[in-house]
Chains A and B, each alone.
Chain A
Amino acid sequence: KNEVEQSPQNLTAQEGEFITINCSYSVGISALHWLQQHPGGGIVSLFMLSSGKKKHGRLIATINIQEKHSSLHITASHPRDSAVYICAVGGGSNYKLTFGKGTLLTVNP
Chain B
Amino acid sequence: DVKVTQSSRYLVKRTGEKVFLECVQDMDHENMFWYRQDPGLGLRLIYFSYDVKMKEKGDIPEGYSVSREKKERFSLILESASTNQTSMYLCASSLFAVSTDTQYFGPGTRLTVL
Complex CA gap A10/B108 in Å reads: 22
- Contact residues of B: prevailing secondary structure: loop
Contacts of B101 in A (CB 8 A): 48, 95
Interface size, A (range): 20 to 34
Q: How far is the CB of B105 from chain A (nearest CB, A)?
A: 4
A57 at the interface (CB under 8 A from B): no
The answer to whether B42 and A99 have CB atoms under 8 Å apart is yes
CA distance A74 to B114 in the complex (A): 41
Contact surface of A with B, Cβ cutoff 8 Å: 4, 29-31, 33, 41-45, 48, 50, 86, 88-102
Q: Which residue of B lies closest to A29 (CB)?
A: B99
Shortest distance from the beta carbon of B30 to any chain A beta carbon, whole Å:
11
Q: Verify B48–A101 contact, CB threshold 8 A.
A: no
Cβ B42 vs Cβ A92 within 8 A:
no
**Residue B75 at the A interface, CB < 8 A?**
no
> When A97-B103, A101-B41, A101-B42 are in contact, do A42 and B98 touch as well, CB less than 8 Å?
no
Contact between chains at A30 and B100 (CB < 8 Å): yes
Interface pair A90/B100, CB less than 8 Å apart: yes
A98 touching B42, Cβ below 8 Å: yes
